[in-house]
A = this chain, B = another copy of it.
Amino acid sequence: MIVDCAVYENGKRRAGELSLDQVRGASRADDAFVWLGVAEPAAEEFEQIAHEFDLHELAVEDAIKAQQRPKVELFGDTLLIVVKTITHPRTSDSIEVGELLLFVHRDFIITVRHGDGELSSVRERVERRPDLLAHGTGVVLYAILDHVVDGYGDVAQRVDGEIQIVEREVFSAERTNPVEQIYKLEREVLDLYRAVSPLLEAVDEIGEGRFEAIPTELDDYFRDVHDHLQRVTGRVASFRELLDSALQANLTQVSVRQNEDMRKISAWVAIAAVPTMVAGIYGMNFDHMPELHWRYGYFTVVFLIAVVCLALYRRFKRVGWL
């Protein structure tokens, strides 16, 4: 599905709707380029676009199947950049991974979106800066990457928050067992890592000015994106270490609590053993048991039992078993 299709001339959007071949023609002019936005295209639909813009057969297959890892690759004059979009919808409790394929050429940029990863906000922001847009398709690529990487940062921020919640749970007195949340976070962090770490290399290559389609005056901008990516990668790497340790610490806490429970139980068992034992003794049927005939024998014994139980209770309280 074609989401938006526009020709930019000297950084300004040309008014009106254009057909696909009009657009292709217009893009050939100097100082003009096309930005074609496509979302989850059907095979035939995209093949038409591919034919119009002369995209490589393998790149087309990638665009339709959308199961690529992040990369940058040059097919003839056209650069194919694959990035993963990661969002963490407020309404959901897990992250969602989408895919964005960007075909970048001096004359055009085609953005193919699978899953989440709305680009209209990027387009709006970019259109407000005709001075930048005049530099061509590279600026659009930068704006998109910047937007996607900002998204990673947001997700990393949110995961960080969740890790802190889980940490508090691990060490709280409330005896929760957040092992499932820790594991779920590990999965998310792995997804994040798999999206971020191959992109690092790809953006590095772009920032080194290795591709003709990207003007070198944008190198600083791509290096800036690279920097942000490195920050996210660093955070994600430390998330993995933290979650590993949290898993281990949680196991320790579980063991400690088990021990606490065991001691508490045992303390009560010990206290209950006293009356049972004493009562057993005075339940014996010997002919000569003088205490049995004392006037206040019974009350004395019950009183003694109570005293001993209380003493035990206090003692267990003091050593922290109860």
A residues adjacent to B (C-beta < 8 A): 56, 58, 67-69, 71, 73, 75, 167, 170-171, 177, 179-180, 182-183, 186-187, 190, 193-194, 198, 220-221, 223-224, 227, 230-231, 234-235, 238, 240-259, 261-263, 265-266, 268-270, 272-277, 279-289, 291-298, 301-302, 305
Does the CB pair B220–A75 fall under 8 Å?
yes
Nearest 8 Cβ contacts at the A-B interface: A279-B280, A282-B284, A286-B298, A265-B266, A283-B283, A258-B259, A272-B273, A69-B231
Given contacts A69-B227, A247-B248, 5 further A-B contacts (CB under 8 A): A73-B227, A257-B259, A281-B302, A283-B285, A287-B294
Beta-carbon contact of A231 and B68 below 8 Å? yes
Residue A286 contacts which of B249, B252, B261, B292 (CB distance < 8 angstroms)? B292
The reply to whether A234 and B177 contact each other, CB–CB distance below 8 Å, is no
Return chain B residues, CB-CB under 8 Å to A227: 68-69, 71, 73
Minimum C-beta distance from A212 to chain B (A): 17
Contact B280 A275 (CB under 8 A): yes
Q: In the complex the two chains form, is B279's CB within 8 Å of A284's CB?
A: yes
Find chain B residues with CB under 8 A from A256 CB.
177, 179, 254
Q: Are A186 and B288 in contact (CB under 8 A)?
A: no
Q: Which residues on B sit within 8 Å (CB–CB) of A198?
A: 230, 234
Q: Does B275 lie within 8 Å of A285, measured CB to CB? A: no
